[in-house]
């Protein structure tokens, strides 16, 4: 064994070190081992004789203790391992922090390979360490420096990321017996790096997948602005035939190189100049442009902002361009539809798609709906649809509606709702789904029809039917029944005269006259019950007979006109409603308007529409205009009801020469002429 202080002793070598004579006291002096050329130092391999740098103020006999103190005071794990056999490099020294951090006692560490840090609960964790272990063995075998991060565990099983710096310690003869290891806990750093990498990956994926054109550009000095990075959406905006490599084709090229037309190129260049001048703050500049893009006019929402300085003072900017053409078209349609719903007199609600109880919620109510239920708009919007329920509302109604909407997307029904004052309203519901492009319901449109007027009309119609039945009964009793009784008496007289051999001519003539009269009366009753015969001219012939009969039984002259020839009305129900409208209007003109002449006119109004007009020369309206009086009398109400039943429109006009014109415009189709 070499003597301490001898050149062959590692510790004795310190006595033979020399200090740079130019270094003054109090400054750091480099300790230069005799015979050692600093230029040969690897930097990755520690020379056994080097101990670093010491100030001349520190005596050499104190340096070893100070060095040991420094090593033990370091807040990093420092260890020394010895190569003893093939694959065996046990630890022969660890500093105090090594034990404190890992939780192992010195006797559990020394003379053991450091691989014990790879064990948790007695099991070696191979995951994430296989490649690093192979590299570590290779570096020890080749006696070279290595740096790596290992997945290690403390004694209590706590996992940590261990950044290992392992350097071979070279002996004076060039051999390597010892390895110095410096180990740092980099768990938080690696986790932060992982999060940053995940964030960067997410940002890159978002950048690439964004439907909005995104681009980062740079300007060097007074040169043009050139693209540093663009996403596929920007490439499609900038290049006509953009493929997968289009984004790369844009890099390094200016707006001018890419032939970006005005106004986009002009606005972007002006925006970059304005931002670079400092005239604006940190908020992006924004603009809406009508831009020709590859031959199509598009609506673009464009923005530009600074993103910091590049190398050597170059300025970097980011710009975005979002194509809002389809959105603007949809918004225009939405505005139009909203205006239409806003102005319609049909109460309309829009509800969300949450059909399960307690939903759905009302998201919009038009003025007609607000007027119907009496709730303020701010109270109705956002409220549950069941807000309209009350004590007498059918409790099964919401369930039936939900089931129908889930199955078919449509619902029709009637129920009682309650207005803001608690008054029950009988309404008819029509609900239909509003679907997105994939057919999924996003909302439901609800129309409410107030049935109070219909119920009153139905009651009036029933009363009118009862009165009509009573009139028919009276007509039959006072007319045909009396005539049949008289006919019975005449037949008895005829029988007696015939038995006596008397002349029966007068009796037979009386019977014939009674039969004729009874037949006329029966035809009148039958015409009242079924005024139209489809096999005898339909509506036109029925209106013609109506005019003729009215001329006979009233003081007015009634005529029928068909200036365009036959008008097709193939549906018998439509023809019946039109006949009753004409009958009611003619009766009103004679009874209330004191008309002397009434004209019934049936004419075409285009290929799919026709007009039934009842024109008289009477005194006109008494009181308010029926167009502005939705209530009116039972006659007018019945006429409106019949017009609505055939999807027609009824209007009342005053003739310039006096009198009234009532017009029912209705759609017609069919193969039977009126």
Per residue in 450-494, pLDDT (tens digit) is 887 665 666 666 666 666 667 677 767 666 677 777 777 778 877
Q: How far is CA 239 from CA 247, 304, 537, in A?
A: 9, 20, 71
673 part of a folded domain = no
CB-based burial label for 160 (10 Å; 0-12, 13-18, 19+): buried
Q: Report pLDDT digits (tens) over 17-53.
A: 444 444 333 333 334 444 444 444 444 555 555 557 8
pLDDT band at 1 (very low <50, low <70, confident <90, very high): very low
Q: Is residue 179 part of a domain?
A: yes
What mean pLDDT comes out for the span 286-296?
Answer: 91
Which CATH number belongs to the domain containing residue 618 in this structure?
Answer: 3.30.565.10
Do residues 299 and 410 share a domain?
A: no
Which of the listed residues 494, 526, 558 is the one where a domain comes to its end? 526
Q: What integer is the mean pLDDT of 655-674? A: 75
As a whole number of angstroms, the distance between CA 568 and CA 671 comes to 6
Please answer whether residues 554 and 547 qualify as being in contact, where contact means their C-beta atoms are separated by less than 8 angstroms. Answer: no
For residues 375 and 271, state if they share a domain. Answer: no
Start-to-end Cα distance in the chain: 135
Residue 674 domain flag: no
For the chain, how many structural domains are there in total? 6
Q: What is the torsional sign of CA 467, 470, 475, 476? A: positive
Contact 183, 91 (CB under 8 A): no
CATH number (domain holding residue 273): 3.30.450.20
The alpha carbon torsion through 576, 579, 580, 586 (nearest 10 deg) reads: 180
| Degrees, nearest 5: CA angle 173-178-181 | 135
Residue range 286-301: average pLDDT?
92
On whether residue 280 sits in a domain, the answer given is yes
pLDDT of residue 526: 61
| 391 lies in the same domain as 363 | yes
Distance CA 146, CA 134 (A): 12
Residue 165 included in any domain: yes
Residues 145, 217 within the same domain: no
Beta strands in 154-270 (DSSP E): 159-170, 176-185, 213-219, 225-230
Say whether both 645 and 560 belong to one domain: yes
End-of-domain residue from the set 12, 44, 70? 70
Q: Is 548 found in the same domain as 463?
A: no
Nearest residue to 167 via CA among 278, 78, 92, 233: 78
Query: Is the C-alpha dihedral spanning 165, 171, 172, 174 positive or negative?
Result: negative
| 511-529: pLDDT as tens digits | 887 787 777 667 666 655 5
Residues 545 and 659 in one domain: yes
Query: Is 22 contained in some domain?
Result: yes
Are 387 and 466 in the same domain? no
Query: How does the average pLDDT of the chain come out, rounded?
Result: 82
Angle between helices 505-529 and 452-475 (to 10 degrees): 180
430 and 479 share one domain:
no
Say yes or no: 390 and 343 in one domain.
yes
121: left (phi over 0), alpha (psi -120 to 50) or beta: left
How far is residue 307's CA from residue 309's CA, in Å, rounded to a whole number? 7
**Residue 244 pLDDT more than 60?**
yes
- Give the percent of the chain with pLDDT over 70: 82
- State whether 655 and 566 are in the same domain: yes
Lowest mean pLDDT among 31-35, 154-158, 244-248, 293-297: 31-35
pTM of the entire predicted model: 0.44
The order of strands in the sheet holding 597-604 is 557-561, 597-604, 609-616, 660-667, 649-654
For residue 51, give its domain range: 1-70
Residue 672 lies inside a defined structural domain of this protein: no
Q: Give the model confidence (pLDDT) of 130-165 as tens digits.
A: 888 888 888 888 889 999 999 999 999 999 999 999
**Least-confidence region, from 2-11, 32-41, 207-216:** 2-11
pLDDT beyond 50 at 14: no
Residue at which a domain ends, from 491, 526, 561? 526
Are residues 61 and 4 part of one domain? yes
Decide if 415 is inside a domain: yes
Position 330 pLDDT exceeds 60: yes
């Amino acid at each position: 064994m070499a003597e301490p202080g001898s050149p062959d002793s590692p510790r004795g070598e310190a006595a033979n070190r020399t200090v740079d004579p130019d270094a003054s006291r109090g400054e750091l002096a480099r300790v230069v081992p005799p015979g050692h050329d600093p230029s040969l130092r690897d930097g990755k391999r520690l020379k056994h004789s080097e101990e670093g740098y010491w100030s001349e103020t520190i005596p050499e006999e104190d340096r070893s203790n100070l060095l040991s103190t420094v090593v033990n005071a370091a807040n990093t794990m420092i260890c020394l391992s010895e190569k003893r056999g093939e694959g065996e490099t046990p630890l022969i020294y660890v500093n105090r922090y090594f034990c404190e951090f890992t939780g192992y006692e010195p006797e559990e560490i020394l003379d053991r390979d450091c691989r014990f840090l790879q064990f948790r609960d007695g099991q070696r964790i191979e995951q994430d360490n296989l490649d690093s272990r192979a590299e570590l063995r290779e570096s020890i075998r080749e006696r070279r420096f290595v740096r790596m991060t290992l997945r290690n565990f403390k004694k209590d099983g706590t996992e940590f990321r261990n950044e290992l710096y392992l350097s071979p310690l070279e002996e004076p003869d060039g051999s390597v017996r010892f390895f110095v290891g410096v180990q740092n806990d980099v768990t938080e750093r690696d986790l932060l790096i992982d999060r940053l990498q995940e964030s960067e990956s997410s940002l890159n994926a978002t950048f690439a997948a964004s439907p909005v054109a995104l681009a980062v550009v740079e300007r060097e000095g007074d040169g043009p602005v050139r693209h540093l990075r663009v996403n596929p959406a920007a490439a499609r905006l900038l290049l006509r035939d953009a493929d997968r490599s289009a984004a790369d084709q844009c890099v390094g090229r200016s707006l001018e190189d890419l032939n970006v037309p005005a106004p986009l190129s002009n606005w972007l260049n002006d925006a970059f100049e304005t931002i670079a001048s400092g005239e604006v703050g940190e908020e992006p500049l924004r603009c809406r442009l009508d831009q020709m893009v590859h031959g199509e006019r598009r609506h673009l929402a464009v923005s530009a902002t600074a993103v910091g300085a590049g190398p050597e003072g170059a300025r970097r900017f980011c710009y975005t361009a979002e194509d809002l053409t389809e959105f603007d078209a949809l918004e225009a349609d939405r505005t139009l539809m909203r205006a239409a719903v806003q102005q319609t007199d049909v109460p309309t609600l829009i509800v969300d798609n949450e059909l399960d109880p307690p939903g759905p919620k009302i998201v919009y109510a038009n003025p007609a709906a607000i007027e119907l239920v009496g709730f303020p708009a701010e109270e109705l919007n956002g409220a549950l649809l069941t807000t309209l329920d009350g004590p007498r509302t059918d409790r099964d109604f919401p369930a039936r509606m939900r089931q129908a909407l889930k199955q078919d997307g449509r619902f029709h029904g009637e129920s009682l709702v309650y207005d803001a004052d608690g008054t029950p309203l009988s309404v008819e519901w029509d609900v239909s789904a509003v679907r997105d492009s994939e057919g999924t319901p996003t909302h439901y449109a609800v129309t409410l029809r107030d049935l109070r007027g219909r119920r009153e009309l139905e009651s009036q119609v029933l009363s009118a039917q009862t009165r009509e039945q009573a009139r028919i009964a009276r007509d039959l009793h006072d007319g045909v029944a009396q005539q049949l009784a008289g006919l019975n008496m005449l037949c008895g007289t005829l029988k007696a005269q015939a038995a006596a051999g008397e002349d029966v001519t007068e009796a037979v003539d009386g019977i014939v006259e009674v039969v004729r009269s009874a037949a006329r009366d029966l035809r009148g009753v039958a015409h009242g019950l079924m005024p139209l015969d489809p096999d005898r001219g339909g509506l036109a012939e029925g209106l013609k007979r109506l005019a003729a009969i009215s001329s006979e039984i009233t003081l007015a002259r009634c005529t029928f006109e068909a200036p365009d020839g036959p008008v097709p009305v193939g549906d018998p129900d439509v023809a019946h409603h039109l006949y009753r409208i004409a009958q009611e209007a003619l009766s009103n003109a004679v009874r209330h308007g004191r008309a002397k002449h009434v004209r019934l006119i049936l004419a075409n109004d285009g290929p799919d529409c026709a007009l039934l007009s009842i024109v008289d020369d009477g005194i006109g309206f008494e009181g308010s205009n029926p167009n502005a009086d939705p209530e009116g009398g039972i006659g007018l109400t019945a006429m409106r009801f019949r017009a609505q039943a055939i999807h027609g429109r009824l209007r009342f006009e005053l003739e310039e020469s006096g009198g009234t014109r009532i017009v029912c415009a209705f759609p017609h189709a069919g193969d039977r002429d009126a």
